[in-house]
Structure 1
Amino acid sequence: MISGRSRLERLAPADEAQVLDQAVNGLLRQDPSRSAALPLMGWQRPALWGVLLTSVVCGVLWPTTTIVAAVALCTAAYVFTLVDRVMIFRQGLAASAIVVPDEEARAIPDAELPPYTILVPAYHEPEVVGDLIAAMGAMEYPRSKLQVLLLLEADDQATIDAARQYADADFIEMVLIPPAQPRTKPKACNYGLHFATGDIVTIYDAEDRPDPLQLRRVVSVFRSSPDDIVCVQARLAFYNGHQNLLTGWFTAEYGLWFGFLLPGMMRTGTPIPLGGTSNHLLTRVLDTIGAWDPHNVTEDADLGLRIAANGYETAVVESTTLEEANSDSINWIRQRSRWYKGYLQTWLVEMRRPRALMRMLGVRAFIRFNLILGGTPVIAVLNLFFWLITLLWFLGHPAAVSAMFPAYVYFPALLCLVLGNLATIYMNLVALREDDRSDLLVPALTVPAFWVMMSVAAAKGLYQLIRSPSYWEKTVHGLVVDAPAETPAGR
């Protein structure tokens, strides 16, 4: 029976406070420079103010030259980012994720399977608890070696009551987390890690539908991989891609990201920003590197970069977890703005020691890290500015716009505009073709409208980074209308 923490020894109040303190402040104490508790540290704050002051002074004294230089710099960033993305995609075409056939996964004797812990953080999600129970019950892994911890906030009575309705699901243990700031998913995972008994730990969101053989496939990957592989990321996809145009865009984007870009990063030794779920980690390494950062709102990307910064690597396995794609535009912007804010948090944290990071990653991976983690949200914000300039140009060809784009800036910008959009659409189309998803042709061809939403979300995330960096905007789940009953497989 699921009741409170019925299958776990209840902690005494003093011990509970100690575990909670470790969940919130453990990484901050272990390595303050790796924590996003303070957005800027050391040289970063004076450097930022120095750049802002220099820009203002130059803008006042030499306005035209300053604007042209800024536009040229942004254009160069666009070009480098575009070229790098195409190169990653090309590598992803040549190197797919690691494939573990069903027969090979099932052939591992139960006696040789390691203890496994699944962390399932849920907050204000009573509507998906039933789906969670069914998904966890479908996992093909010996019950004696599987620990499923449902992590709930102690004051989230609605979700607690929903979980108690499934009294027969005795393979799930419920952990109640004392209310405390920050109210973030990584804090919940850190708290749950205290109770974990598995050699491997993974995270699933409450609405996830993982491939039933995913745990066995991951074990197979670890068994056949070098010792520096300490994390295995599974593929994420959506079961409601046809619900509306937004879910179609989102599904096409995930197909490109998890199907080609992540394998491309894996092949080139690039640090992999982990997905928010279905990343499988060796528990001993988690303890060594400080687990998750409770102050970072994309704890997955942060952990992926911290894994690389500590000299370890991540592999990508061909096993799919189905999730619910956001079908509401406002809800989607809330989610994506949190992701962009977390990307910037992670970039700021890792760039506190840029020389040490470059020595560890190498020059190419270091540049790529900056383009992906720092460049993705910044360029999304800059898109709003450049789209406004383009609109003004078409409306009246104002002289001010012409002055901002001398020939040596105009032609690279024009090539980036035309070829960049075509290249991105082309990559989406190829990804859909390889996934046999011709049904998503319309979302792939109309993806520029999706980029507008990305830019709005990036601007919102940048604003929140300044005002409330560790605030976790909750994504509402359970919005699926007539979702098809799909069973995820190895692909």
Structure 2
Amino acid sequence: MSPADPSVPRADLRLRYAREGWVPLRWEDGVVVIGSSGRSSPRRDARISAVVDAPIRIESMSQRDIVETIVESFSEELVESAADGLYQQDPGLSAREVLSRGQKAWAFLGLIVLVGLVVLWPIGTVVSIVAVASVIFLASTLFKFSVALRGSRFDLVRRVSDDEIRTVRDEDLPIYSVLVPVFREAGVVGRLVANLGRLDYPAHKLEIIVLVEEEDVETREAIEASHPPENFVVVTVPKGSPQTKPRACNVGLEVARGEFLVIYDAEDAPEPDQLKKTIVAFSHASPETVVMQAALNYFNARENVLTRLFTLEYSYWFDYMLAGLDVRDLPIPLGGTSNHFRTRALRELGGWDPYNVTEDADLGIRASALGYRVGVVDSTTMEEATSAIGIFIGQRSRWIKGYMQTALVHARRPGTLIRQIGLRRFGSFALLIAGTPLTFLGVIPFSILLVASLVLAGWSIAPVFPPIVLWLSLLNFLIGNALMIYLNMMGPFKRGAFSLVGWAILNPAYWLLHSVASYKALWQLITKPHYWQKTEHGTSAFELHEDGTATPGTVAPAGSSRTGDRAVAPG
């Protein structure tokens, strides 16, 4: 690869260089030497010459080397744009500041009032807090139930037949970019190259951008040792803060050429025809549909109780909740993997917020504010469900903290958001995004209160907690858990996984794990709001085979990863 003369490439044209597949390298004998991955033609050469305002000579380069040259030449600009591009565009939409100035003032005032009420009216204040929390808990649960029940009546998945795929000609397909953010993933690189290498898409129109942190030398060396195909572009993400998955994805978005773009995690195994199916689905969708979500499934669902509950939760979310939200035209929190974007719209949205640890949920709300919609395509990506309680709590604490961040960000200007999306959709946002962490924070206190009321001679604590509050807590326990058990029982039906239905009865214990995670999330929101809680993957005792089946095998070495994570509304 020819190094670029620092004085030749222009920072303001760096996006154009990557997208058009050329970059100025150096002056030589009165002409500018251009590294180009595209086919040379008089028209193209004339256009490039006009841009650099000088005579040119074309030198063949791979797109991989062009991207590497751009990243090396403009690392400072990329770092700034990837970390603070959204903040500079609109500070109010970024989670860089946990609380805005106005929110800090209101929080301080609220704290003073609360302390005063506790001092002057301690029992009444506690009873009032429990009563209000109970109402929020019940409202959030009923909302999820009604939306999922509505979604169960519809199948909004865009079905793409084999005949439709066969009619798609390779020469008519657009360039497709695949972003794969990895961190300390040396152990799964071989699987990554194999899984993405099976994608049925013309190699010259498919660019797979693997995003590796600058410090992660081991993973970068493992990728090189695996001899990936020419269309694998390994991008070294320049060192910067915050070191998060969305910041890395923003770097990838800057250099991506594709008209469409999808994010996969390192352990993902998408169906080979997923990209072509998505192209067909987009061709039949409205212009407002800017995202197509593929279904997620877990190859290790039968590994233990936790993976079964994990799979039940995702089944009801993707098969019923997404459909219900779409039917009612309500904001949809996006998932972090297997989301296929119109790249233009993604850039219009400002990319991802690197300070928000559930950047996908936040992006869904911003997309809704601009009138965009989400579609679902009938293709599946196989993943690994979290199989250890400690890892699960760490993962969920990040997701719940991200929901807290998203709720705080979009509550800064509630009037503006209501004008953009309407009161009905704002209510949905409040119940789903803000209501989810509040619900989980209430699980442990409500459980303690219920047990205390039953153990301490029936209603002997009534002098402290009036019967109406205790009955409301009991109602939450019985109705809330019954509804969520029912929803999780519904989950497997569309996927035919009937053996999982009975495990839904354990959902109350699953919610207790979420409650523990929610208190960890709240503490981290206060002490280290932008900390990215990494999730270990590659620990499953199941092995995924090329035919999509999975069998118990040898446990792979655990590797710390920040991939394999997407934020659904847990529970």
TM-score using structure 1 length: 0.95
CA contact (8 A) 1:341 1:464 kept: yes
The aligned counterpart of 1:337 is 397
The aligned counterpart of 1:44 is 103
Q: CA deviation at 1:400?
A: 7.6
1:82 pairs with one of 131, 141, 151: 141
User: 2:436, 2:88 → 1: CA distance?
Assistant: 30
The aligned counterpart of 2:432 is 372
Q: Counterparts in 2 of 1:179-198, with a 5 A limit?
A: 179-198=239-258
Task: Name the aligned partner's letter for residue 481 of structure 2.
Answer: N
CA deviation vs aligned residue, 1:407-430 (integer Å, no higher than 9, x gap): 433333322221221111111112
CA contact (8 A) 1:4 1:175 kept: no
Q: CA deviation at 1:146?
A: 0.7
After superposing on structure 2, the runs of 4+ consecutive aligned residues of structure 1 that deviate more than 6 Å are none
Residue aligned with 1:91, SS: helix
Mean CA deviation greater in 385-394 or 366-375: 385-394
The aligned counterpart of 1:34 is 93
Q: Residue 241 in 1 paired to residue 301 in 2? A: yes
Structure 2 CA distance for partners of 1:202 and 1:406, relative to 1, 3 Å: same
2:202 pairs with one of 125, 128, 142: 142
CA deviation vs aligned residue, 1:112-171 (integer Å, no higher than 9, x gap): 222110000000111111111111111111112111000001211121121112115333
Q: Counterparts in 2 of 1:18-417, with a 5 A limit?
A: 18-96=77-155, 97-397=157-457, 401-417=461-477
The aligned counterpart of 2:46 is none
User: 2:128, 2:219 → 1: CA distance?
Assistant: 54
User: 2:161, 2:109 → 1: CA distance?
Assistant: 55
CA deviation vs aligned residue, 1:435-471 (integer Å, no higher than 9, x gap): 2112223432222211111111111011101111111
Q: Residue 444 in 1 paired to residue 504 in 2? A: yes
Structure 1 runs not aligned, ≥5 long: none
User: 1:12, 1:173 → 2: CA distance?
Assistant: 12
Residue aligned with 1:70, SS: helix
User: 1:405, 1:108 → 2: CA distance?
Assistant: 66
CA contact (8 A) 2:295 2:378 kept: yes
User: 2:291, 2:153 → 1: CA distance?
Assistant: 22
Larger radius of gyration: 2
Query: What is the alpha-carbon root mean square deviation over aligned residues?
Result: 2.1
Q: CA deviation at 1:7?
A: 6.4
Structure 2 runs not aligned, ≥5 long: 2-61, 550-571
Q: CA deviation at 1:373?
A: 0.8
CA deviation vs aligned residue, 1:76-110 (integer Å, no higher than 9, x gap): 11221122111111121112222222332332222
Residue aligned with 1:21, SS: helix
Mean CA deviation greater in 124-133 or 462-471: 124-133
Task: Name the aligned partner's letter for residue 356 of structure 1.
Answer: T
Q: CA deviation at 1:5?
A: 5.5
Residue aligned with 2:351, SS: coil
Structure 2 CA distance for partners of 1:106 and 1:457, relative to 1, 3 Å: farther
Mean CA deviation greater in 93-102 or 295-304: 93-102
CA contact (8 A) 2:209 2:235 kept: yes
CA contact (8 A) 1:67 1:404 kept: no
User: 2:145, 2:397 → 1: CA distance?
Assistant: 25
The aligned counterpart of 1:472 is 532
CA contact (8 A) 1:340 1:458 kept: yes
Structure 2 CA distance for partners of 1:43 and 1:397, relative to 1, 3 Å: farther
Q: CA deviation at 1:487?
A: 4.4
CA contact (8 A) 1:5 1:176 kept: no
Mean CA deviation greater in 142-151 or 408-417: 408-417
> Relative contact order (C-alpha < 8 Å, sep 6+): which is higher?
1
TM-score using structure 2 length: 0.82
Larger helix share, 1 or 2? 1
